[in-house]
Chain A
Amino acid sequence: MQHVFDAFSLGSLDAMLALGIALVFGVMHLVNFAHGELVMIGGFTIFLTAGLPWPMIVIIVLLVVAIAALLMERIAFRPVRGADPTTLLVTSFAVSILLQSVAAIIWGRRAKGVDFASGLSEPVTIFGTRIAIVDLVSIGVAVVLVAGLAIFLTRTATGTAMRAAAEDFVMARLLGVSANRVIAAAFALSGILAGAASLLLVASTGTIQSNMGLQPVLVGFVATVIGGVGSLVGAALGGFLLGVLTVTMQVALPLEARGYRDAAVFAIVIVILLVRPSGLVSSAALEERV
């Protein structure tokens, strides 16, 4: 029971990260390395606003990270839009390193402790098992965000335009979808997801660091790949699956091999890629047409 909750809470965090990456990938075929740095920016925003009442911190963090995502798109990614995949990948890698090093220049490379919502680490007893409140909150937040995203994508004009753009960008533009608006919307949403992820991460770990974005972005990549690059349903599914996989490894591996958990998870990713190169939910947009 304990493990089930662990798997679900980790899975919901992974799913949030994966969705943020998949949203951006869907509309501009950019694998965004700097998504992790959005989480880092969220972390440092919490650090700077520490002391304010928590609802304000939450709102400020979500706003700041969404704006950071929009700026990132405007400054770094818009000029290379439509370039070949290598250029896009290198650009996002450089943006990621740039933001990391700027944080290191200002605050140093060492980890800092942050007292944010530490009450959430307290356990509560449900169905006879003790679960940290933050795990429950993670699951709740993920459900709300995923549901909200689903409603946005299916019920609003911008959401529909985004899905159309993810399917066939050229055709969508020919039918009057504004490229700038759709891509900006994708970045803003991915920023909100990254901000939410940073709040949950900091609430559970209590530390921030200039390179804290690395692990989340790796997790996000892996989850998107498992689910199927370019598919949003796949990304959400992949995230939850990754959480389950990680916890299963944690439990199943013998004690002395537990350190190898991440290696095992990443090896499974390669195997999944081999069996289903397009992921569990394949999307038509990825296949290049001649």
Chain B
Amino acid sequence: MAGPTHVATAEPRRARARQVPEAWGAAGGLVAGLIALTLLSIGLAGLSFGFHEFVLTVLINLILVVGMYIFIGNSGVLSFGHISFMAMGAYVAALVSIPTAQKQFVLPDLPHWLTNAQFATVPSILIGAVFAGIVGFIVGIPLMRLSGIAASIATLALLVITNVVLGEWETVTGGRTALVGVPITTTIGAALAWCVLTIVTAWLFQRSRVGLRLRGSREDPVAARAAGIGITRERLIAFAISAFVVGIGGGLYGHRIGSFAPNDFYFHITFFLIAMLVIGGIKSLSGAVVGTLTVSVIQEIIGRLENGEGVGPIHLHLRDGVTDAVLAILVLLIMLLRPGGITGGRELVLPSRTMRIFRRRRELAA
């Protein structure tokens, strides 16, 4: 009760013996998943305008959630501050891509060099993401020294600070009112490409040396320290990469909806994205993806009912707030019944004959 108890069981050892074949199986699962995702999104998007919008939302959510997973999932430290990086990505990408003439009108007091900056979509997203990544690295240096609850509260403080600064720095951000006129350029193809890149990056990271060390520290910080893992350095690298990826998601989001305000990047969306992560399973990449897809579908269905649009034959007019309530109940149920999320922290593994042969060979050797 007071602090987790570390019970030594045979479980970790068995898991490790399976690790090599599972890695290959997971790679297969990843490739299959990406192909399915691509086909599904292109197929669905063709159906109607509503589906087109839905697919865009899901793809951007995927980038954001997988970006958060890179830090939260691998380190086990819950961060409430990641939406700050989404906000930075969105605002910076917007500021360097809104046409100069429009900026003179919307933000008349902007410094000249920024008013004159006018980049295309992809460079603007990259600039935003690099900005978010650098900020993530800098604030990460002090934050990553904290652990457990102190770390979560400090990231919460980061979210509040970002919100206050965005709301008050009127000359640059336009203040509490919405920043308008961001070119709406995010297409399904572009979002899909970024999404695939994000998922592959997350997978490569978690298989990398730093990623594995970080995952080790998540399972048992004391043992990891004893094995010579510094933890702070691993966490910092993950935090910066994670901030960069979430920054990309923010840039795409901005280029998708065209106008946004500081409060669009606050607790509400933080809850939705964390819900996606924990419902799918916080400890695996497959969990992040599965959770995002599940929650996005639920969100879309209830959202349509809230707007009175109806889903198929069902016509209910639900009141504002039902989506949040349903998701919150879902998260509670998952926490009570299956704290590991839908995937239980496992990766999607492709069962194939080669895998089985590989496993048998190892068992014989052992």
Interface residues of chain A, those whose CB is within 8 Å of chain B, are 28-29, 31, 76, 79-87, 89-91, 93-95, 97-98, 100-102, 104-105, 108-109, 168-170, 173, 179, 210, 214, 218, 221-222, 225, 229, 259-260, 262-263, 266-267, 269-270, 273-274, 277-278, 285, 288-290
Q: How many A-B residue pairs have CB under 8 A?
A: 146
Majority-rule SS of B interface residues: helix
Q: Using Cβ atoms and an 8 Å threshold, which residues of chain A touch B3?
A: 29, 288-289
| Chain A to chain B contacts (Cβ below 8 Å), 14 pairs | A80-B339, A85-B148, A90-B335, A93-B271, A93-B274, A93-B331, A97-B328, A101-B325, A179-B1, A270-B157, A273-B154, A277-B146, A289-B3, A290-B6
Contact B146 A169, beta carbon cutoff 8 Å: no
Closest A residue by C-beta to B271: A97
Any A CB within 8 A of the CB of B222: yes
Contact B332 A76, beta carbon cutoff 8 Å: yes
Contacts A105-B322, A290-B222; is A90 near B278 (CB within 8 Å)? Answer: yes
Majority-rule SS of A interface residues: helix
Any A CB within 8 A of the CB of B29: no
How far is B76's CA from A225's CA once the two chains are assembled, in angstroms? 20
Interface residues of chain B, those whose CB is within 8 Å of chain A, are 1-4, 6, 76, 78, 142-143, 145-146, 148-150, 152-154, 156-158, 160-161, 164-165, 167-168, 222, 267, 271, 274-275, 278, 282, 319-325, 327-329, 331-332, 335-336, 339
Contact B153 A221, beta carbon cutoff 8 Å: yes
Contact B325 A102, beta carbon cutoff 8 Å: yes
Q: Using Cβ atoms and an 8 Å threshold, which residues of chain B touch A89?
A: 78, 149, 152
A-B pairs with lowest CB-CB distance, top 4: A104-B321, A98-B328, A101-B324, A259-B168
How far is B148's CA from A179's CA once the two chains are assembled, in angstroms? 24
Contact B325 A98, beta carbon cutoff 8 Å: yes
Contact A79 B336, beta carbon cutoff 8 Å: yes
How far is B156's CA from A31's CA once the two chains are assembled, in angstroms? 12
Contact A262 B222, beta carbon cutoff 8 Å: no
Q: How far is the CB of B45 from chain A (nearest CB, A)?
A: 30
Closest B residue by C-beta to A103: B321
Q: How far is the CB of B75 from chain A (nearest CB, A)?
A: 11
- B339 CB contact (under 8 Å) in A87, A214, A222, A288: A87
Q: Using Cβ atoms and an 8 Å threshold, which residues of chain B touch A102?
A: 321, 325
How far is B278's CA from A32's CA once the two chains are assembled, in angstroms? 18
- A170 CB contact (under 8 Å) in B2, B143, B324: B2
Q: Using Cβ atoms and an 8 Å threshold, which residues of chain A touch B275?
A: 94
Contact A168 B2, beta carbon cutoff 8 Å: yes
Contacts A91-B335, A273-B154; is A31 near B161 (CB within 8 Å)? Answer: no
